Amino acid sequence: MPFPCDGHGSGPSGPVRGFYAALVDDGTRLSAYKRYCPNCLMVLMKDHRSDWQPGYAIDAPEQSTACTSCGTVADKAADLRPFYVTTWTVRNQRLDYFAHYCADCAQVVIGLFGLKEHANGRI
């Protein structure tokens, strides 16, 4: 039995794509693993193309001081919550993205993806 798509809820007509999201909030890692059909994953990526940057946060040329979603400027970079996304394509090609969220936007992302703290940091 195929896994249902976490985007639209029913069984996909084709293979599902893996999607892992993690947010670090005050030293606590909140994460979730989802499965999306190609169409739902494409819509999700399109919806976040302005706030998710490709690559890893460590690759960023300078430390961000503003929320990548709403643009709120933080007093210091430590006030922003780092967010990481990994997706896998049809051929298991891994794609990584990152963002930095203010407290309010971080709460939206936590609810949107159902991010939770897991025992031993594992899902």
- As beta bridge partners, residue 54 has 97
pLDDT in tens, 32-69: 999 888 888 889 999 998 889 888 765 554 566 889 99
Q: Which residues contact 111 (CB under 8 A, 6 or more apart)?
A: none
Reported pTM: 0.83
Can you give the residue ranges of every domain in the chain?
A: 17-118
What pLDDT does 123 receive?
53
Query: What is the overall mean pLDDT for the chain?
Result: 84
Helix (H, G, I), strand (E, B) or coil at 106: helix
